[in-house]
Structure 1
C-alpha cells in the first residue's frame, strides 16, 4: 500500500529527474552551439522540494558528456549531497550560482558562459548596444556586474545579486554572460537571445561604423520584449528535437 508520504517522495523524484534531464540537455546544447569552455563555466538548476538543493556539473566533464545522472546535487553551502562517479564541483561556479539561487527565489535555473562573443561585449565600454532586433529584445532584461577577479570570494555574492536585481540577463564585465529564469527551458531561451545579440554586435562592429535605430523603435521593441521568456514554450521542444538528432544519450 502506497502512503501519502511515499507518493510525495515519488513525485519529487520524478520532478527531479525531469529537471536533471532538461539541465543535461542544456549542457549538450551549449556544446552544440560552440559556447562551451572546456570543463569550465556552469549551468545549474534548483531541485524541486523543500531542501534548497541544486544541480551543477561535476568538475572535469566536457559539456557534451553531461548526462542527467552525472549531475552533482549540492546544498546552498556548496557541500555535495549526492553525486555519480565524479563528485568534485568548481568553487567559482558555486559562488556565482549560489548567489542567484539564494538571492532570487524565482531563479529555478542559472546559466553562465565564457563564450567569446559574450565576453567581448561584456568588455565593450558601452556593453550591449541596440544594433539588432535581438539586442533590443534583450535590453530591458539586462544588467551588469563589474569584474572582481575569479569568483572565489563568497562576499561577492551580495554584490552580484544586487546588480542582477530582478533582471533575467547579465553581462559579467570582462568575464561573460549569465541568465536566470523560472526553469531550464526559459533560462536557455534567455541565453540564446543574449548570445545571439552579442554575436551580431561583434560582427556588426567589425564591419565599421554602425547604424542605430530611433529611440522610439528601441522603446517599442523593449515594450514588446516583456514576454520574451514565454518563447521557451516553442523554442525548447524544437531544441530538444535538434539535440536528439545530433547528440542523444543525455537522459540517462
Structure 2
C-alpha cells in the first residue's frame, strides 16, 4: 500500500497561510461529503492573501485524504514553493486555476468540479435556464467556455480568461462547472447553488411538462439581492463556520 507522506506545516507558515490551508482542506472534504469529487481529479485552489501564491491539491490524493499540510503551494508559473515538498500537481488543474488566478485578483478561491449534473447542463445547447431560485443566483453571474480537450494547452488560458470575464459561475461545455469567490466559503456556496440549479433543471426536464420560467427582470435583480442575503456577510461567511463544524465532526484530521 502506498504510504502518504505526512508533512507538518502548522508552525512553519504564517497564521494567514495556515488558516487558508485549513479552510481549503475543509472545502475538499465537503466536496467529497457531497459526492462531488471525481477520484483524484478536479481541483479547488485558494490564493494566499496578499500574495500571487496559491494552494492546490497534491496529484494522486483523494479528496478525503487532503489535509492542511499536504496542500501544495505554487506560483503562477506552476513552481512548487514548499521546501522539500513530496508531492506533484496535476498539469491540467494548474492550467485552469492559474488562468483564473492570473486575472481575477478579486477571487480568493476557485472550484472546478466534474459533477454529473453540471456536465449535463453544460452540454445542453441552451445551458442553465431560469427555473429555480438556485439558477437565478447562478445566472446573475454566469459564463460559458467551449470544450478544447484536456486543459494542458497554455494557449487555452487566454480564451478561458476572456470567456470568464467578471463572472463568478462558469459552465465548461462537455466538462463541468467552475465557481469563484472572494472567500473559500463564498466559492463553496456558489458551487452549492450551481449544482442544485443543475439538479433541479434536470428533474424538471425529466417530467416532460412545460416549465414556468423566472422572469428576466427578476434574474436581473437577483444579483443585488444575493449580495445581501446569500453571499457576502450573510452567505458564504455566515454558513462557513457551520460547514467547518460539519467537517470537524466527520474527521478532524483535515486540519493537521
Q: Judge same fold: TM > 0.5, yes or no.
A: yes
Q: Counterpart in 1 of 2:247? A: 243
Q: Counterpart in 2 of 1:180? A: 180
Unmatched 5+ stretches in structure 1: 1-9
> For 1:112-155, what per-residue CA distance to the aligned partner results, in whole angstroms no more than 9, with x for missing partners?
00010011111111111111111112111111111111100011
User: In the alignment, does 2:222 pair up with 1:221?
Assistant: yes
Q: 1:71 to 1:12 in 2, by over 3 A?
A: closer
Q: Counterpart in 1 of 2:5? A: none
Q: Counterpart in 1 of 2:153? A: 153
Q: CA–CA distance in 2 between the matches of 1:84 and 1:199?
A: 43
Q: CA–CA distance in 2 between the matches of 1:214 and 1:154?
A: 39
Q: CA RMSD, aligned part only?
A: 1.9
Q: 1:12 to 1:223 in 2, by over 3 A?
A: same
Q: 1:154 to 1:238 in 2, by over 3 A?
A: same
TM-score (norm 2): 0.89
* Contact 2:140–2:219 (Cα < 8 Å) also in 1: no
Within a 5 Å distance, the mapping from 1:1-252 to structure 2 comes to 13-50=14-51, 52-82=52-82, 86-209=86-209, 210-227=211-228, 228-230=230-232, 231-252=235-256
Q: Counterpart in 1 of 2:3? A: none
Aligned length: 242
Q: 1:83 to 1:117 in 2, by over 3 A?
A: farther
* Contact 1:69–1:84 (Cα < 8 Å) also in 2: no
Q: 1:198 to 1:21 in 2, by over 3 A?
A: same
| Aligned-partner SS, 2:88 | coil
Q: 1:132 to 1:74 in 2, by over 3 A?
A: same
Unmatched 5+ stretches in structure 2: 1-10
Q: 1:172 to 1:38 in 2, by over 3 A?
A: same
* Contact 1:46–1:54 (Cα < 8 Å) also in 2: yes
Deviation at 1:48, TM superposition (A): 3.0
Q: CA–CA distance in 2 between the matches of 1:109 and 1:83?
A: 23
Q: CA–CA distance in 1 between the matches of 2:120 and 2:203?
A: 11
Q: Which moved more, 1:223-232 or 1:150-159?
A: 223-232
| Aligned-partner SS, 1:68 | coil
Q: 1:222 to 1:106 in 2, by over 3 A?
A: closer
Q: 1:84 to 1:136 in 2, by over 3 A?
A: farther
Q: Counterpart in 2 of 1:5? A: none
| Aligned-partner SS, 1:151 | coil
